[in-house]
Amino acid sequence: MRIGIDVGGTNTDAVLLDGRSVAASVKTPTTPDVTSGIVEVLRSIIDQSALETDAVQGVMIGTTHFTNAVIEAKPLMPTAAVRLGLPATRSLRPMVDWPARLREAVGNHAYLCHGGHEFDGRAISPLDAAELRAVAAELGERGVRSVAICSVFSPVNAELEQEAGAVFQEELPGVAVSLSHEIGRVGLLERENATIMNACLRDLAERIVDAFGSALAELTITAPVYLSQNDGTLMSVERARRYPVATFASGPTNSMRGAAFLSGVTECAVVDIGGTTSDVGMLVKGFPRESAVVAQVGGVRTNFRMPDVLSIGLGGGSLVRGEDALTVGRESVGYRLTREALVFGGQTLTATDIAVAAGLADVGDAAWVQGLDEGWVRDAHALIERTVAKAVDRMKTSAGDIPVVVVGGGSILLGSRLDGASELIRPEHSAVANAIGAAIAQIGGEVDRVFSMEGVSRDEVLAQAKAEATEQAVAAGGLADSVEIVEIDEVPLAYLPSNAVRVRVKAVGDLDLARVARVETQARG
C-alpha cells in the first residue's frame, strides 16, 4: 500500500494505492499551515478504506509550495551567491539578470572568488581560503545563513565547491550550503540561478518537511516519505530538506504520469483540461517529453528539465461567443463556473454549457440550455474539438494517429472521438491524476558530465555512463531488476579538437519499498 499526496495551491488531494488499484481518493482544500490539510486528507483516506497505518509502505508527496514561494518572492531566506572562477566570469555578476524584486527578496549578496576549472579539468585558479573566510565573516555580520556555491565547470570537477562548502561550514557553524554541481548542468548562470533559488528555500524546506513529518506522526504513519521531482522521480524527504529546488515543475509531470498509470498507455498525448486552460503534453515510455526551450521560474533563467507542455486557453469555464465569428476560450469565468455558467443558472455561455447542450455531459441543469440552436451548438462543439485536436497535433512527433488520454475536470468538453486520436481515453479517478502520479513515481539516477573521447571508443564511454546511472538509481532505493536507461543524450563540445563530449544518461526503476522500509527501520532502531 502506498499513499500519494498532491499539495497544490488550492487543493490537497490524496490517493491510496493497493498495488495498481486505487483503494481510496480524497480532495480537500489546502490549509495555510499545510499540516492540518494533510492530516485531514489522510484521515479521510484512512476512514474511507479502514486502513491499518502500518500497512502503508511509502508516502509520496508532490507540492508546488517551493515553486510558488519563488514566483511570489515571498518568504525567502537571505542568501549569499559565492562564485568560484576569478579572474574569469567577472563580466557578469551572480543574479545579473534576475527581476529586481526577487534579487532584493534574497538580499542581493553576491561574491566573486578564485577557483574554477577549465572544460578539460585543468584549474583556472586555486581556491583562496583566506578570501572565502573574509566572505564568511561578512556574511556572519550580515546574518546570512544560507550560501549557494557555484564553481566554473563544476559538472566536470566538483572538488572546489566541496572544499569551499567546508570552509563556510567551519566559519559559520550551522550555515546551509548548496553546491551547484548537485543541482544543475553545464551553463554557469542557469546552474548558479538554480543553486541560489535552492539556497533561499532551505528554511522553508525545513518547515514544510517538518509539517509533512508531524502530519504523518499524528496519524502514526511510519513509512518512508518521498517528494516528487521535476523529472517524475522521487527523492527522500531528507534530501528534500537540502534540495527543495528539485521539486520545481513536478505538478505537470505528476499529472501526466498519473494519466499514464490510470490509462495504462505509455506512448500518448495527455490533455489535462481545467477551468481556464488546458495543458497538452506527450508521454514517451511513460515519462513526459522534456522541453528544449529555456525554463524560466519567477522570471529567472534556469536549466531545469521541464516537461514540454503546451497550454491553450480552453477550459470548462471558457466563454463561447458567436456575434461575428464563433470563438471560444479567449476568456474564462474560471472558478466562478458554478455560479455564472448557464447550466448553473448564471448568465454566461461557457464551454461547459455547450457540452451539456450537446448531450455530452450531465452537470447543472440541462433545461437552461434547451433554447440554444442545435446547429449552432454543433458548430461550437466542433470548434472546441478542433482547438484541442490542433494542440495535440502540434505536440505530435509523427503524422499518424496516437492515443489521447484526457484528464481533469474539464474532460467533459470532449466527445468520444478526436481528430488525430487513434482512441480517446478518459480514465477513472482522473480528477486526482496528480496525486496518483506522485504515488507511482519511480526512483532515478543520472550522470551528466563531460567525457573525453581521446583514446576510448564511444561505446566504452556510454557503457561507463550507463553503469554509473544505474548504480545511482539502485543506491537511491531502486529495485535493481527494474532499473532501465530511459534517456541518453550526447552533446559534443564544438570548435575544440579534443573530442570532448557531454554525456547525460538517466536511469529509472521502481522503488524497492521492502528494502527502503528495512533500511529506514534499521536507521531508526
Partner 1 sequence: MPRELTIGDLHDLARGAALLGTGGGGDLYVGRLMVESAIADGGRVELLALEEVPDSGLIIPTAMMGAPTVLVEKIPSGDEAVRSLQTLERHLGRKAFATMPIECGGINSTMPLVVGARLGLPVVDADGMGRAFPELQMETFHVYGVSGTPMVITNEYGDSTIVNARDNAMMEWLARGVAVRMGGAAYIAEYSMDGETAKRVSIPGTLTLGIEIGRCLREARERHDDPFGALIEMLKRTPYSNGRILFEGKVTDVLRRTTDGFVRGNATLESSSGSVLGLEFQNEHLVARVDGEVRAIVPDLICVLEAETAESITTEQIRYGQRVKVMGISTPGIMRTPEALAVFGPAGFGLDEEWKPVETLGA
If you search the block for the grid coordinates 488546458, which residue do you land on? 278
Residue of 33, 498, 518, 521 interacting with partner 1 (CB under 8 A): 498
Residue closer to partner 1 (CB basis): 310 or 517: 310
Total number of residues that touch partner 1 (CB under 8 A): 44
The C-alpha atoms of residue 520 and residue 525 are separated, in whole angstroms, by: 9
Residue closer to partner 1 (CB basis): 378 or 394: 394
Residue 116 in contact with partner 1, rule: CB under 8 A: yes
Answer whether 132's CB lies under 8 Å from 168's CB: yes
Residue of 494, 523, 524, 525 interacting with partner 1 (CB under 8 A): 494
Residue 88 CB, nearest distance to partner 1 (Å)? 4
The C-alpha atoms of residue 41 and residue 433 are separated, in whole angstroms, by: 16
Question: Is the sign of the CA dihedral 10, 289, 409, 374 positive or negative?
Answer: positive
The C-alpha atoms of residue 173 and residue 307 are separated, in whole angstroms, by: 38
- Pattern of binders to partner 1 over 173-212, x per CB under 8 A? -------------xxxx-----------------------
Q: 139 to 158, contacts with partner 1 by CB under 8 A?
A: 152-153
Answer whether 117's CB lies under 8 Å from 182's CB: no
Of 200-208, 313-321, 375-383, 490-498, the window that binds partner 1 (rule: CB under 8 A) is: 490-498
Residue 457 in contact with partner 1, rule: CB under 8 A: no
Residue closer to partner 1 (CB basis): 93 or 241: 93
Residue 296 in contact with partner 1, rule: CB under 8 A: no
Nearest CA to 360 out of 371, 373, 351, 368 is that of 351
Residue closer to partner 1 (CB basis): 184 or 251: 184
Residue 325 in contact with partner 1, rule: CB under 8 A: no
CA atoms within 13 A on the CB side of 451: 21
- Cis ω on the peptide bond leading into residue 87 (within 30° of 0)? yes
Residue 370 in contact with partner 1, rule: CB under 8 A: no
- Pattern of binders to partner 1 over 392-421, x per CB under 8 A? --x--xxx----------------------
Answer whether 74's CB lies under 8 Å from 47's CB: no
Q: Which three cell numbers stand for residue 88?
A: 574569469
479-262-282 Cα angle (round to 5): 85
Residue 490 CB, nearest distance to partner 1 (Å)? 7
Residue closer to partner 1 (CB basis): 134 or 395: 395
Answer whether 414's CB lies under 8 Å from 406's CB: yes
Of 374-382, 406-414, 438-446, 497-505, the window that binds partner 1 (rule: CB under 8 A) is: 497-505
Residue 43 in contact with partner 1, rule: CB under 8 A: no
Residue 85 in contact with partner 1, rule: CB under 8 A: yes
Residue 299 in contact with partner 1, rule: CB under 8 A: no
The C-alpha atoms of residue 426 and residue 143 are separated, in whole angstroms, by: 53
Answer whether 146's CB lies under 8 Å from 66's CB: no
The C-alpha atoms of residue 481 and residue 496 are separated, in whole angstroms, by: 39
Residue 485 in contact with partner 1, rule: CB under 8 A: no
Residue 449 CB, nearest distance to partner 1 (Å)? 12
In DSSP terms, 281 is beta-bridged to 270, 309
Residue closer to partner 1 (CB basis): 45 or 297: 297
Residue closer to partner 1 (CB basis): 28 or 193: 193
Residue 499 CB, nearest distance to partner 1 (Å)? 5
Of 30-38, 71-79, 80-88, 441-449, the window that binds partner 1 (rule: CB under 8 A) is: 80-88
Contacts of 425 (CB under 8 A, 6+ apart): 263, 265, 268, 403, 404, 405, 406
Of 86-94, 228-236, 341-349, 504-512, the window that binds partner 1 (rule: CB under 8 A) is: 86-94
Helix, strand, or coil here: 346? Answer: coil
Of 6-14, 85-93, 195-203, 371-379, the window that binds partner 1 (rule: CB under 8 A) is: 85-93
Helix, strand, or coil here: 163? Answer: helix
The C-alpha atoms of residue 146 and residue 198 are separated, in whole angstroms, by: 10
Of 257-265, 286-294, 473-481, 506-514, the window that binds partner 1 (rule: CB under 8 A) is: 286-294
DSSP annotation string for 169-211: HHHSTT-EEEEGGGT--S-HHHHHHHHHHHHHTHHHHHHHHHH
Nearest CA to 200 out of 158, 151, 243 is that of 243
Residue 497 in contact with partner 1, rule: CB under 8 A: yes
Residue closer to partner 1 (CB basis): 495 or 524: 495
Residue 122 in contact with partner 1, rule: CB under 8 A: yes
Residue 89 in contact with partner 1, rule: CB under 8 A: yes
Nearest CA to 280 out of 135, 207, 389, 353 is that of 389
Q: Give the total residue count for the chain.
A: 525
Residue 119 in contact with partner 1, rule: CB under 8 A: yes
Rule CB under 8 A: which residues touch partner 1? 85, 87-93, 96-97, 116, 118-120, 122, 124, 152-153, 186-189, 289, 292-293, 301, 394, 397-399, 453, 490-502
